[in-house]
């Protein structure tokens, strides 16, 4: 069909955070409308937490929510200011 865009294939994106003290961690961002409890991360038993999401290609802002507090991703230096006076991390999902 003419004029129809091809379907964008979702890509696997793995979010990781090392925290030996946390009891719960969520990855929160514009990919889930900033819903603080939508994507819980799972501990692996070594202090590392992980969540795999399937995202369409594009640019996404995110942060971690660790035991109710916002936290930056220390492994990702790509950040932009947010409206709360802090920063959001940015991940780019390729085509």
Residue 33 pLDDT: 97
Residue 2 covered by a domain: no
Residue 6 covered by a domain: no
- In DSSP terms, 40 is beta-bridged to 26
Q: How confident is the model at residue 76 (pLDDT cuts 50, 70, 90)?
A: very high
The CATH number of residue 35's host domain is 2.60.40.10
Residue 5 covered by a domain: no
Residue 71 covered by a domain: yes
* Cα-based distances in Å from 14 to 44, 54, 60: 14, 9, 13
Residue 5 pLDDT: 59
Prediction pTM value: 0.88
**Edge-to-edge strand ranges of the sheet holding 11-18:** 11-18, 48-55, 42-43
Buried b (16+ CB within 10 A) or exposed e, 9-26: eeeebebbbebeebeebb
Number of domains observed in the structure of the chain: 1
- List Cβ neighbours of 12 (8 Å cut-off, separation of 6 or more): 52, 53, 54
Q: How confident is the model at residue 7 (pLDDT cuts 50, 70, 90)?
A: low
What average pLDDT does the structure give for the chain?
93
Residue 31 covered by a domain: yes
Which structural domain, as residue segments, surrounds residue 64?
11-93
Pairwise CA distance, residues 30 & 91, whole Å: 11
């Amino acid at each position: 069909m003419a004029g129809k865009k091809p379907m964008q294939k979702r890509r696997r994106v793995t979010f990781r955070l090392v925290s030996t003290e946390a009891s719960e961690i969520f990855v929160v961002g514009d990919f889930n409308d900033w819903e603080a409890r939508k994507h819980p991360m799972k501990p692996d038993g070594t202090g590392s937490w992980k969540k795999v999401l399937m995202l369409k290609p594009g640019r996404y802002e995110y942060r971690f929510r660790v035991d109710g507090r916002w936290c930056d991703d220390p492994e990702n230096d790509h950040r932009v200011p947010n409206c709360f006076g802090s920063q959001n991390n940015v991940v780019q999902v390729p085509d």
